[in-house]
Structures are given as C-alpha cells and as structure tokens.
Amino acid sequence: MLAQLLSLVPFLLPLATALPTTTNHTLVPRFNPNYVDPVRGSCKTKHLINEWQFHNGVDRICNHLFRPADKPAVDTVGVASTRSVVFTIDVPAYDNNKPLRMVYEIKVENNLAYTEMRVNESECRRGFTDVLNESFLGINYCVVDGTEDVLFQGGTFERAMTFQGNQPGKQIFDVRLRRDQYPE
C-alpha cells in the first residue's frame, strides 16, 4: 500500500506546485474603520469627539431620560431584551465643531425570550462613563499628537447581570458614531 502511494508522488508534485499562493490580509472591524494608529494611540483623524464632549453627551442623555423638560422626573426607565433605549444626538467634532451624530444605547441580553430591567439615573451615568473608562488606547480612543487631548471613537461596556430565575445575562452600554458619519 505504501509503495503504491509513493509511486503516485511524481504525478502529484506538479499539482502541488501549481496551487496558487495565499496572501495575508488584515481585516478591519466593522465599527473601527482604522481611525487610530493601534501601535502608538495617535489619532489619524481629528474628526471625533473629545472627552469633555463625550461626558456632555452622557449628561444630555441621562438628564433627558430621568428629568425630561416637559414631563415629571422619573426614578427608573425600563430596558427590555426586545426594546433597547437608543438616543442619537449631535455633538461638535473636535476638528471643526461641525456636528457628529453620536448614538448612545442601553440594552440587555440573555437567553430568555423576554427580559426587562430597570435603569436609574446613577446607573445610566456610570454605565456610559464606564464605556470611556474601560476603553483601550488605539482602539476606542486616541491622543492628538503634541497635546493631551483625548478623542473618543466609540466603544461598549458590558456588565454581567442575573435576571429572572438566576438566568445570566448582561447589561450593555454602547456609544458610537452613527454609521453614516464615518469618513469615506
């Protein structure tokens, strides 16, 4: 049997050498279109929001949710596995103060068909702030060369939660540029 296989080697060698060579490709994540130099954390674009503008957006969202101007204040807001809380707000860009559309989202995920949880104002502020605090240089934020200015690109913070019947799940806070805001 081995002799028969070895006798086929001269016929198979031309096939093996005729195979096309492969090329390595680096894939860029969908919501991280390579704005940032991942090695140094240096901003490749300044058309992002700075840290102060990020926190200003968090204040606007949480104030609107829990202290709306035209309604009485509320203690908690319901977030369901089938219905996330999503806000899109205009925030001035660092480079030219033109508005960037930023999406702030709170959602829950688990294995149950339906889950609802309540979020209070403190959790709203802490969750969105953790998006920035738990982010990574060169991925979620960058530093403008020659300054100490931090620009935020977007990110997600996930907190482990236990739902009905001790079902594991997570509470997710996500902040990102709206899809049509990415430069070509």
Predicted pLDDT at 125: 92
pTM of the complete model:
0.71
Q: Give the rounded percent of residues in the chain with a pLDDT score beyond 90.
A: 22
Q: Partners of 45 in the beta sheet?
A: none
What is the residue extent of each domain of the chain? 33-178
Predicted pLDDT at 10: 57
Task: Give the start-end residues of each E strand in 4-163.
Answer: 49-50, 76-80, 85-92, 99-110, 116-120, 141-143, 150-152, 154-163
Residues 81-138: tens digit of each pLDDT: 788 889 999 999 999 989 999 999 999 888 776 778 888 899 999 999 999 888 888 7
Backbone angles phi and psi of 162, in degrees to 5: -115, 130
Residues 117-128: tens digit of each pLDDT: 888 899 999 999
